[in-house]
Structure 1
């Protein structure tokens, strides 16, 4: 009898010890608990870059889907979406609110190079994940100096170099004009472009800039045409990209037109500018475009369309920015799944730097891969030409 009691006591102690170990394995930083993960974001729902606001809404709609299906490891995502109007001073204010008042576990996908530049040092000093930022500036891949900041989309310098190589291959005697936003975003694209041209930088006959507060870029278009340029590299955000395409048609300037991928949305840029005016524009893509008929029966596209209809019915089903939101949200969900019950900020960054992922709405041959010394998740792109209705992919997939 005594032996039986002793065995029972030992078994009970073993169970308690096991339960204690399980409980001990759960680790939380501010912004996470047994029921909830608080994800902050900052997007321009107003202001000169408001065309990108739909990205933030699409992210929220994807999290709605995740929550409706039970959440992540039993926890629901609480999405804290704030507007900065693409104003860096406001971005700083909103980042502080998310970190210090809302106690978000992470600040996810804040949009724009100037806004993210304004908060990068703050986020790293607070050791809060500044994760999958919505800008391709090269500075987001610097884990040695900024271990809490990581990009997501292909680096701008890489894309600029792709355009330069294509020009050298197809129009080696080109006279090139460049229009660029006068900030780190524009400068990053331009550096990659110049590097790609190498000793042929003299092909650039006109380089003009604009400010995000400018009402139009009409005078810049007239100036570049007057310079005799027959190739145009357009480094602009959606509002100004549409203006440029329209003005070019008005003044009858028809260079070979390379448009940066951040303004390649058919519905947000090309339609407002005029589809006929947009014909033959070149860009790079890394995600499937919802206007491309070749993907009409693609399982990934069908799932995306069904999600749009159910969770984001007010969103435009032809807007590539809604594909972007869907893809980047899926990436974060994978990171949080890998975190398991260790929802510390340090582990979030560790898992973000341990990805090897294929997403159904990325182009064939494009994947997401990170490492402790590689904070550039997507590094592959393919050239595409607009045929008046949709983007037509051609050539090889560039990148590593």
Structure 2
């Protein structure tokens, strides 16, 4: 058995952040049932281009493998009744909605505890469920600007720049998944569930980490750095070579001494301007151009071979295609495959979460409402007449006699 095979999660989720977190729980064996609104065509991620046809998109596949789907209108009285039956048979109600929406949809612990005292209600929102921005929609790009990330990213003389990936969304999803695991553990220990108020904003602020503590407790002013350099350690940045870019890091004095030898300038190791962390930082304006000129004298392959032999932390600046084809990516089984009814074999990146041998079958993302029969018959035990009655009451969306 996979670690979470005894956990059932009702996911009122859409787009990226929430589905990213619940997908990792699904990969670990949790039964994640997507509750998709029939009036809107379900999760909006189904319609994100490119590589999109009908209700299928590779974007949706990237966030929803190993899950199940049922189309259910939880604002409809009959749909709400069905949803409450599911709550009785589940461990978690998981949502990523605007901060004022979970209370309106009655997805909070106080709304559901009479149905299941041990239910965990995790709400991943843009700004949290309190504070002046709680009712605002939160999106990764906006939050990267708001929380200082863009001010820190890019060249010193360039514009503020967002990360090339939706890191606030992804990190928020993982924080939500951690919160769910902790809350389920406590609920099974104590018999009492709880709310988890998780936000993308809090996640992004928390990830300011050491620049934040330096700023809060001293005169440090976080700023963008030349060629993505570390804010305090020199050298620790990207360098141009004759035919590409490499990243070289000297977070220990031994690496700096080795680097001077690799570069053919061992005298720099004992130069008083560069002999210590503090000295190299103080004299970075002199040292970095010198290193750049040396690195530009040879190719990426030359430097990576020399740096690797010397045990100096380093690597190429790969394209996405190069990163996915890297021998280490393949050796770590980070590329997986599923079979899709429209797209055929779909290759995608695997979860980095490893528990035990990490083995397990992977299913493509579900079609909308694909698992209605499993949910209604296998989990809830509904018979044909009950299902017909719910259909007539439009629990599953508009019904035409």
Query: TM-score w.r.t. structure 2 length?
Result: 0.31
Of Structure 1 and Structure 2, which has the larger fraction of its residues in helix?
A: 1
Query: TM-score w.r.t. structure 1 length?
Result: 0.31
Higher relative contact order (CA 8 A, sep 6+): 2
